[in-house]
């Protein structure tokens, strides 16, 4: 790896805070190794709620879009990553039966070809070797997360093609595309059982009870990145999103040392690859490192 051409990782996320709850320790680990890491945040999170009871006040709600940008800036510093907003408007999480229509002009309603353009431009400028995004169900049923998957897949395919988006810069083809697989049934069950063994109350019981095993993604994991050492950095970045995270909540109920011992990795599915690597992997850059010039 040379200073002139270091390895580069691009993580595409829907809202500010998603980068801190999905793959954050992986990013911090690669930053520490000298990899350049960029987070692309599709929306400004304008339609999020205030999820921290301590901050659920009118003056916080009024300034929410601005606060979320400030929180993102703090998390970016903690993780040591670069970050850009792609400029779309949060679709909000529709609730009710029947579900209300999505608000006009929101990210999820932008045609995918058009919505992928800023990401194609960013891929051609930043030239990542590896791109991280969500699986086809968004990993979580929020319309912006599903749209994030769609634009990431389209941009991964299109960025290297000179015929597509010809005005958005020199083509660049990333080598690997991964889906985030951090919240599997297997992992949650392992943490749950380990907590019960210590005699503690598990924060996962309710979550596990409602989990349809058919919807578990454990079997799709191809790549487990050891990054336990960076779990505290992940938590610090999450806490920086103060309006979105209750520091007394479930996220932080599982003791750090137990997490580091029971599940010391963040997990991914290799969805597309233009290089050879042997599965299972423990490195997102497996098969790429040898091709990047070494001094
Ligand atoms: Zn989100």
Say how far residue 80 (Cα) sits from the centre of its chain.
15
**Residue bearing tokens 């006009």:** 104
Among candidates 169, 184, 131, 126, which has minimal Cα distance to 153?
Answer: 131
Say if residue 3's pLDDT is above 60. no
Q: What's the CA-to-centroid distance between 14 and ligand 1, angstroms?
A: 5
Say if residue 292's pLDDT is above 70. no
Say if residue 103's pLDDT is above 50. yes
Confidence tier at 260 by pLDDT (50, 70, 90): very high
Q: What's the CA-to-centroid distance between 144 and ligand 1, angstroms?
A: 7
What are the pLDDT digits (tens) for 182-191? 999 999 999 9
**Residue bearing tokens 């998390």:** 75
Spatial distance between the Cα atoms of 21 and 102, rounded to a whole number of angstroms? 25
What angle is formed at CA 245 by the lines to CA 94 and CA 143, rounded to 5 degrees? 25
Q: What's the CA-to-centroid distance between 51 and ligand 1, angstroms?
A: 13
Arithmetic mean of pLDDT over the chain: 94
- Pairing verdict, β 265-273 and 82-88: unpaired
The annotation places the binding site at 15, 18, 145
Q: What's the CA-to-centroid distance between 137 and ligand 1, angstroms?
A: 13
What are the pLDDT digits (tens) for 129-178? 999 999 999 888 899 999 999 999 999 999 999 999 999 999 999 999 99
Q: Once rounded to an integer, what is the mean pLDDT over residues 107-111?
A: 98
Measured over the CA atoms of residue 265, residue 268, residue 273 and residue 276, the dihedral's sign is: positive
Looking at residue 213, its pLDDT comes to: 86
Q: What's the CA-to-centroid distance between 182 and ligand 1, angstroms?
A: 14
Among candidates 248, 233, 286, 281, which has minimal Cα distance to 54?
Answer: 248
Ligand 1 ion: nearby residues, β-carbon < 5 Å: 14-15, 18
Instruction: Give the ranges where 85-184 is alpha helix by DSSP (H).
Output: 112-115, 117-126, 143-158
Say if residue 294's pLDDT is above 60. no
Confidence tier at 295 by pLDDT (50, 70, 90): very low
Instruction: Give the ranges where 8-92 is alpha helix by DSSP (H).
Output: 18-21, 24-32, 58-62, 64-79
Cis peptide before 95 (omega within 30 of 0): no
What are the pLDDT digits (tens) for 20-52? 999 999 999 999 999 999 999 999 999 988 999
The annotation places the binding site for Zn(2+) at 15, 18, 145
What are the pLDDT digits (tens) for 205-256? 998 999 988 889 999 999 999 999 999 999 999 999 999 999 888 889 999 9
Q: Are 180 and 135 a contacting pair, CB within 8 Å?
A: yes
Q: What's the CA-to-centroid distance between 145 and ligand 1, angstroms?
A: 6
Q: What's the CA-to-centroid distance between 277 and ligand 1, angstroms?
A: 31
What are the pLDDT digits (tens) for 47-89? 988 999 999 999 999 999 999 999 999 999 999 999 999 999 9
Q: Once rounded to an integer, what is the mean pLDDT over residues 97-103?
A: 92
Q: What is the largest CA-CA distance in the chain?
A: 60
pTM exceeds 0.85: yes
Q: What's the CA-to-centroid distance between 278 and ligand 1, angstroms?
A: 32
């Amino acid at each position: 790896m040379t200073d002139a051409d270091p390895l580069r990782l691009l993580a595409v996320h829907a809202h500010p805070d998603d980068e801190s709850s999905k793959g954050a320790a992986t990013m911090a680990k690669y930053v520490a190794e000298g990899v350049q890491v960029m987070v692309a945040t599709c929306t400004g999170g304008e339609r999020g709620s205030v999820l921290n009871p301590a901050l659920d006040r009118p003056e916080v709600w009024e300034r929410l879009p601005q606060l979320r940008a400030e929180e993102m800036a703090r998390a970016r510093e903690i993780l040591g990553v670069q970050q850009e907003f792609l400029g779309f408007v949060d679709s909000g999480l529709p609730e009710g039966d029947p579900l209300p229509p999505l608000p006009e002009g929101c990210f999820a309603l932008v045609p995918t070809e058009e919505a992928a353009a800023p990401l194609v431009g960013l891929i051609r400028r930043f030239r990542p070797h590896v791109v991280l995004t969500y699986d086809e169900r968004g990993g979580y049923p929020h319309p912006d997360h599903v749209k994030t998957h769609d634009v990431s897949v389209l941009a991964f395919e299109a960025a290297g093609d000179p015929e597509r988006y010809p005005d958005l810069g020199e083509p660049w083809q990333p080598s690997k595309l991964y889906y985030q697989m951090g919240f599997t049934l297997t992992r949650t069950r392992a943490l749950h059982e380990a907590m019960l063994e210590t005699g503690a109350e598990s924060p996962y019981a309710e979550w596990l009870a409602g989990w349809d095993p058919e919807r578990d993604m454990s079997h799709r994991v191809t790549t487990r990145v050891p990054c336990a050492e960076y779990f505290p950095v992940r938590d610090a970045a999450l806490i920086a999103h103060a309006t979105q995270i209750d520091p007394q909540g479930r996220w932080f109920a599982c003791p750090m040392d137990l997490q580091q011992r029971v599940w010391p990795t963040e997990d991914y599915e290799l969805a597309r690859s233009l290089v050879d690597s042997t599965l299972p992997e423990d490195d997102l850059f497996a098969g790429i490192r040898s091709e990047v010039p070494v001094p």
